[in-house]
Amino acid sequence: MRIKKAVIPAAGLGTRMLPETKTIPKEMLPIGDRPSIQYIVEEAVAAGIEDILIITNRSKAAMEDYFDYHPELEERLLRAGREEDAALVRRTADMANVMFVRQKQTLGLGHAIWTARRFVGSEPFAVLLGDDVMAAARPVIGQLDEVADAERCSVVGVQAVSLDDIGKYCSLDVSHYHDRVFRVHNMVEKPKPSEVFSPYAILGRYVLSPDIFPILENLSPGYGGEIQLTDALAVLARRGEMLAVEFEGKRYDTGSLEGYLQCVIELSLQNPRCGEALKTYIKELARTL
């Protein structure tokens, strides 16, 4: 059975994007004509996922409004003969069954996932981090789901990062299994140089067994004093219950200023509403740099 439920943790404080994130959730920052969270929801929908739980906090209600109807606006657009715009607005609320739960304390990504346990129930589920936007020909979460479905196993999405950067990620101890698939034996969050297993890092996409919940429930705080998802995944990995897929696609860390700006530029170049004009502008600008 292919997964039907996804969890999008989006309750982090976004301190790398201050002062902007003091009042506006980083997930609502625009990538061209859409907030970044819409790209994440669209990736899940394109992979056939129907029910989506976004984990928020008390200062992120703008996301709840975004995925709701806006009758007054839609009516005004229709009265003005702007059917296409009205349909754009309606689609944000209708594209999936989007639900919300609040993480009442910012205790870490592992804790955020744990708040989704009642929504998830007893089936495998997808996790898409709210600040990792993917540009890919095939939805990245669907690439993981194919392997999870065939192997009946939890799967994480990985790519090799530079050894200078691996200390910002979680480093995986892997051995090659077949094609783009690896067995995962262990992992470490934000490793010191002496702790690095390999350049393979998890980049924001997971298909997980609900077996993760009892592990999360009994976890002590790890790196940075937070309940770390990596520490729970490491338990599954050491039990031999985890695979990794080296996914095809490009990942943007929209929770960092540089990653966000790269994402805005590259995805706007592909946007039919502005791509050609932007390309001309960037070429002209580059001549003056």
Count the alpha carbons within 13 Å of 243 in the hemisphere toward its beta carbon: 24
Rounded alpha-carbon distances, angstroms, from residue 133 to 29, 38, 102, 112, 152: 12, 10, 22, 19, 26
Residues 117-146 that bind ligand UTP (CB under 6 A): 129-131
DSSP 220: P
Does residue 90 interact with ligand UTP by CB under 6 A? no
Q: How far apart are CA 175 and CA 181, in angstroms?
A: 9
Choice from 47, 54, 55, 133 touching ligand UTP (CB under 6 A): 55
Choice from 107, 161, 196, 274 touching ligand UTP (CB under 6 A): 107
Choice from 13, 61, 80, 257 touching ligand UTP (CB under 6 A): 13
Does residue 109 interact with ligand UTP by CB under 6 A? yes
Q: How far apart are CA 53 and CA 83, in angstroms?
A: 29
Does residue 35 interact with ligand UTP by CB under 6 A? no
Rounded alpha-carbon distances, angstroms, from residue 18 to 22, 25, 26, 255: 6, 10, 10, 10
Q: How far apart are CA 248 and CA 159, in angstroms?
A: 9
Residues 235-264 that bind ligand UTP (CB under 6 A): 255
Phi–psi pair at 55, nearest 5 degrees:
-95, 120
Does residue 228 interact with ligand UTP by CB under 6 A? no
Choice from 30, 69, 83, 106 touching ligand UTP (CB under 6 A): 106
Sequence length of the chain is 289
192 C-beta neighbours (distance < 10 Å), count? 8
Return the structure tokens found at 46.
């394109």
Quickly tell me which residue has 């296409």 as its tokens: 84
Are 246 and 159 within 8 A, CB to CB? yes
Binding mask 159-198 for ligand UTP (x = CB under 6 A): ----------------------------------------
CB of 199 to ligand UTP, least distance (A): 20
Does residue 268 interact with ligand UTP by CB under 6 A? no
Stretch that binds ligand UTP, among 87-95, 105-113, 119-127, 264-272 (CB under 6 A): 105-113
Does residue 12 interact with ligand UTP by CB under 6 A? yes
Are 132 and 251 within 8 A, CB to CB? yes
**Which residue lies nearer to ligand UTP by CB, 20 or 276?**
20
271 C-beta neighbours (distance < 10 Å), count? 14
Does residue 103 interact with ligand UTP by CB under 6 A? yes
Does residue 44 interact with ligand UTP by CB under 6 A? no
34 C-beta neighbours (distance < 10 Å), count? 16
CB of 9 to ligand UTP, least distance (A): 3
Does residue 112 interact with ligand UTP by CB under 6 A? yes
Choice from 15, 97, 270, 280 touching ligand UTP (CB under 6 A): 15
In the complex, residue closest to ligand UTP by CB: 12
**Which residue lies nearer to ligand UTP by CB, 103 or 143?**
103
Binding site for ligand UTP (CB under 6 A): 9-16, 55, 103, 106-109, 111-112, 129-131, 255
